[in-house]
Amino acid sequence: MADRRRRRGVWRSAAAGLCLLLVPPLSGCGGPTAADTARTQLQRVLDRRSAALLGHDESAYGTTGTRTEYARLRALPLTSWTYRVTGLHGSGADATADAELRYRVAGYDRAPVSARRTLALSRTTDGQWYVTSDRPARKAGQQLWDQGTVTAVEGAHSLVLGTGRSAGDLRGYARLADRAVPAVSRAWGADWTRRVVVLVPRTLEGMAGLLGSPAADYRGIAAVTTGEAGGAGAAPADRVVVNPDAYALLGGVGKQVVLTHETTHVATRAHTTVATPLWLSEGYADWIGYLGTGRTAPEAAPELARSVRDGRGPTALPADGDFRFSSAPAGLAQAYEGGWLACRMIADQWGTARLDAFYRAVGDHAKRAGAVEDALKKVLGTTPGEFTARWRAYLRTQLA
């Protein structure tokens, strides 16, 4: 801005140039707009609000706005919490603001989780901003505290956060997660955080709200894992999100398999990229999930076993589209079972070390094209056609 003013001053007048040289910034020749000032004031209020939350100062928090979030967040162990104002709409007695919330859970998040928020604002009698509500932005998923007061239970390797759940209920999830973490490390290795955060909402609708998708997409799905980085390498914050309705229908072994499966996704996130097909990422997670359970192939893959026995076995490895949660239940089950048996076959016929190396080699590629083919050749010494034929024969041997 100053450079542009100086250029104009050369041809306008000496007085203009003198103004640029002598008048302090943000005054005289061009100060802040009312909107800039209001936004700056709001940012300061939000900074104080964040400091009060981290400092467990409810009184100071209350001077900046509603205390609803403070009460709901009381049990959440936070190491950072900041807002960045990205938009302000209206500057009278009432207004709304767009903001980016960034926070970290102490001991679990390597980098901040980000969430888009919409803040409703009013002016106090002395002209200061006051936050009257803090809610998810349009098309943004909810945070757990949007659904009610958060209860936290910490295990040896896990942090379980729930709403509408007793501490005793959440301790059951923590016990399973604490068994899952070392089980995953034994199979995959120790090159991950070896800690997991599990979110347990009250209902299926609560799960869908956290994921920002319709509840129908997750009906019958016991849990999913969501990561901030989405396969970008160093995922800062994976969360295992439980569907309590479906999870409650599982037996003890099934519940353990589900949490071990999802914990595997947390562990492998840094090596799961756009190059990794879902048959590999989901199949590998199931492979670790079923280790040590004693489940036979027909017991763990009943839908695929039925298809193979009827002479309708698959002719190709599952495509990514076969893993859509909205797919027919039988088809979705067959996709997961097919991926699991592909990984199980690699472990049986090439060894577990080759399976791990294959997973990492595929993920090391920058794009999907050629990733599996290259890893098959370099790690397993085979081709896509030979591998598929071998997998189909393995299905007949294991399931017929």
CATH number of 34-139: 3.10.450.50
Q: Which residues pair with 89 in a beta bridge?
A: 96
3-state secondary structure of 154: strand
Q: Ramachandran region of residue 90, left (φ > 0), alpha (ψ -120 to 50) or beta?
A: left
Structural domain spans, the chain: 34-139, 141-267, 273-400
**Cα 71 to Cα 20, 62, 234, 334, distances in angstroms:** 51, 11, 32, 45
**DSSP for residue 165:** -
Tell how far CA 262 is from the center of its chain: 12
What is residue 35's predicted lDDT score, i.e. its pLDDT?
Answer: 67
Answer whether CATH 3.40.30 is correct for domain 141-267. yes
Tell how far CA 86 is from the center of its chain: 22
Rounded distance, CA 362 to CA 369, Å?
Answer: 10
- Per-residue model confidence as pLDDT tens for the chain (400 residues): 444 333 333 333 333 332 223 333 333 445 556 667 899 999 999 999 999 999 999 999 999 999 999 999 999 999 999 999 999 998 678 999 999 999 999 999 988 999 999 999 999 888 899 999 999 999 999 999 999 999 999 999 999 999 999 999 999 999 999 999 999 999 999 999 999 999 999 999 999 999 999 999 899 899 999 864 333 334 446 899 999 999 999 999 999 999 999 999 999 999 999 999 999 999 999 999 999 999 999 999 999 999 999 999 999 999 999 998 877 889 999 999 999 999 999 999 999 999 999 999 999 999 999 999 999 999 999 999 999 999 999 999 999 8
What is residue 32's predicted lDDT score, i.e. its pLDDT?
Answer: 59
